[in-house]
Copies of this chain bind each other. A is one copy, B any other.
Amino acid sequence: MRKYQAHIYVTLRPSVLDPAGTAVVSGLQHMGYDTVEQVRIGKYIELSLSAQDEDSARQQLNIICDQLLANPVIENYRFDLVEREEVSA
């Protein structure tokens, strides 16, 4: 088994309104930052897992994202995967 580190980005689909992002834009304008045009807030997940190989890790991650981390109706996701070095003493 190899060890992998995944960085997962879950974002709202472009057609879905983001009230939290709109609130941040409004808050920034009140603070004087009227140069900010748009804010969209998503999730950033760091996940470490073991798998036989990279294909198997990607397959597991797709299922994990679809079933637990993202809501496919309103969210998209993507991830980067890197193999972690085993630390030798």
Contacts and interface: CB of A to CB of B under 8 A. Distances in A.
A19 interface: no
A19 to B, nearest CB: 14
A71 interface: no
Contact of A45 (B10, B41, B46): B41
Q: How large is the interface on A (under 10, 10 to 19, 20 to 34, 35 or more residues)?
A: 20 to 34
A54 B57 CA distance: 37
A22 interface: no
B68 A27 contact: yes
B43 A47 contact: no
Contacts of A44: 9-11, 41-44
Nearest to A3: B37
